[in-house]
Amino acid sequence: MHDIRFIRENPDVFDAALGRLGVSPVSAEILAADAARREAISKAEAALAERNAASKQVGAAKAKGDEAEFERLRALVAAKKDEIAALDEEAKAGDERLRDMLLGLPNLPFDDVPDGTSEDDNVEIRRWGEPRSFDFAPKEHYELSCAAGLDFETAAKLSGARFVVLRGAMARLHRALAQFMLDTHVTEHGLAETNTPVLVREEAMYGTNQLPKFAEDSYQTREGWWLIPTSEVTLTNTVREQILDEKDLPIRLTAHSLCFRSEAGSAGKDTAGMLRQHQFEKVEMVSITHPDASLQEHERMTGCAEAILQKLGLPYRTIVLCTGDMGFGAKKTHDIEVWLPGQDTYREISSVSVCGDFQARRMNARFRPEGGKPDYVHTLNGSGVAVGRCLIAVLENGQREDGSVDLPAVLAPYLGGKTRITANGGFE
């Protein structure tokens, strides 16, 4: 959420930044709502002062025996009470209107974020690894003979489209990847492993900007809980409504969780295989930092996600998203795209964003500098990485012509020393 004081002092700057995101100027409307709210508050305060003054005079009039003045003052006190209640309601409605307006606006991009309207305008900043040269036509993950353990037919009977049942080697490899990611982030990157609920209250979804704008992209239960689209929601909200000590920053967390997304805007996209699912697993990274450290932390977190792919030997490229492709809550985003030979292209496997104080204001998450007043923390989040997409990349990059798959050596300790999935779907 945005700082109304910044908008008051910099309306043109605010509108210009939103304009880079394709949002029409809104500062005038926001400031009008803010002025009406503040006027109602001012009138309520003035009426309260008048009531308090009249209340003090009521007793004096009674003591003097001035019945006419006593009745006038008593009527004034009663009238001011009703006036104050009406003005308080008006101010409350103004607060809610202004809050709703601010909640519906995206974060402002950093100046160095490239302008653009779509993914075609994203800017590549580096590549790692050389895509393997095959002497046969590489297949997509679901076409491999060893991938019989990817059971889409049974999943469709159970749940419908965009679900999968993992069996045998596929299930174990998927689990191994998640364990490997967690172990790496905890032991090498210094993140604290955390296990959080997948059902959250509405306030948590507001805190990390899934609501109100993206309600249709998530699932809500009959009881009112929301299924998390990512554990960014729970990890970030662990500092909700807190004032942290400066010495405790940064807070670096990681979690492996189920994630749920309706994919409302992706009809017809990636319908084959398990690239885009309603239910999937992800290892998430979240950092809560001092404002002065968030940009450096963004680079560090990007490096943590890249390290996972490097250890697995998976070629990737890292890009900076343009203004037209960036997420609602981000000030800057790095996407990491892994090479998928079956599709002959790079596909997103991680997205790492710095949000500034945008989420912290929605959560009222602050820290207290030594000798200073509380200030808002900065929040960052990123995939470290998406487990299902990593499974796809491992299968496609390690495939052999007979349908078997050579596995990354770093996974052997998680697979009982096995380094290969045979063409019939077993380990050896």
Query: Is 218 annotated among the ligand-binding residues?
Result: no
Query: Is 348 annotated among the ligand-binding residues?
Result: yes
Q: Which residues of 358-387 are buried (b: 16+ CB within 10 A; e: fewer)?
A: bbbbbbebbbeeeeeeebbbbbbbbbbbbb
Query: Is 232 annotated among the ligand-binding residues?
Result: yes
Amino acid sitting at position 407: L
Q: Mark whether 368 is an active-site residue.
A: no
194 token code pair: 């955390």
359 token code pair: 């989420």
Q: Which one of the listed residues 351, 353, 362, 396 is annotated catalytic?
A: 351
Q: Which one of the listed residues 276, 317, 361, 368 is annotated catalytic?
A: 276
45 token code pair: 């305060």
Query: Is 27 annotated among the ligand-binding residues?
Result: no
Query: Is 404 annotated among the ligand-binding residues?
Result: no
Q: Mark whether 252 is an active-site residue.
A: no
Q: Mark whether 351 is an active-site residue.
A: yes
Query: Is 284 annotated among the ligand-binding residues?
Result: yes
d(CA 205, CA 210): 5
Query: Is 262 annotated among the ligand-binding residues?
Result: yes
Query: Is 351 annotated among the ligand-binding residues?
Result: yes
Q: Mark whether 29 is an active-site residue.
A: no
Q: Mark whether 294 is an active-site residue.
A: no
Query: Is 261 annotated among the ligand-binding residues?
Result: yes
Q: Which one of the listed residues 51, 389, 396, 404 is annotated catalytic?
A: 389
Query: Is 288 annotated among the ligand-binding residues?
Result: no
Quick one: CA dihedral 245, 251, 257, 263, positive or negative? positive
d(CA 91, CA 88): 5
Q: Which one of the listed residues 90, 348, 368, 400 is annotated catalytic?
A: 348
d(CA 53, CA 45): 12
d(CA 43, CA 89): 12
Alpha-carbon torsion angle 263, 266, 272, 273, nearest 10: -40
- Residues with catalytic annotation? 261, 276, 348, 351, 389
Please state the residue numbers annotated as binding site. 230-232, 261-263, 284, 348-351, 383
Please state the residue numbers annotated as binding site for ATP. 261-263, 348-351
Please state the residue numbers annotated as binding site for L-serine. 230-232, 284, 383
